[in-house]
Amino acid sequence: MGFTVKQREQTMNAAITEFKSWEQLTVLEQMQSQYWDMYKDAYGVRPRGIDTSDWTEADFEREFEVLGQTIDANINEREAAERDSVVKFEARVTELVRIGAKDRETALRWIMDSSGAGGDWEYFCFLNGLPYRYFAAK
């Protein structure tokens, strides 16, 4: 037999009141949460099949060191790829101006029209590996 609406509501309310604030968490609970977030930052997915319930603070610290290095390497790789994308994009704009676009604005309009980004410059940045907000007013 299923739950009534009232029973579901009571269960949900009980679950909500069980959540702790960050300050109410133990140091190990805070470290578990930090590990969860850092793992996502490092690998793009939440950890699965990793039981941290028996880890010590030292275990977490060792893992934080590895995750921190991975995150730093990912950032450096992304920034290098973005710099390369900027160089290629600007060369494309220059080439369009050279072969017939009246100015940079026209070249950008032509590029956007052919991009499939539907006029959304931030989406265009994503599609072309350019830094976020590359076209924002400076």
pLDDT for 88 equals 98
- In SS3 terms, 71-134 reads as HHHHHHHHHHHHHHHHHHHHHHHHHHHHHCCCCHHHHHHHHHHCCCCCCCHHHHHHHHCCCCCC
Compute the C-alpha angle 39/44/49, nearest 5°. 55
- CB-side neighbour CA atoms (13 Å) of 125: 12
Q: What is the mean pLDDT of residues 99-119?
A: 97
Q: Is 68 helix (H, G, I), strand (E, B) or coil?
A: helix
Tell me which of 8-17, 52-61, 77-86 is least confident: 8-17
Q: 7: pLDDT confidence band, cut at 50, 70 and 90?
A: confident
pLDDT for 31 equals 97
pLDDT at residue 23 tops 70: yes
pTM assigned to the model: 0.74
pLDDT at residue 1 tops 70: no
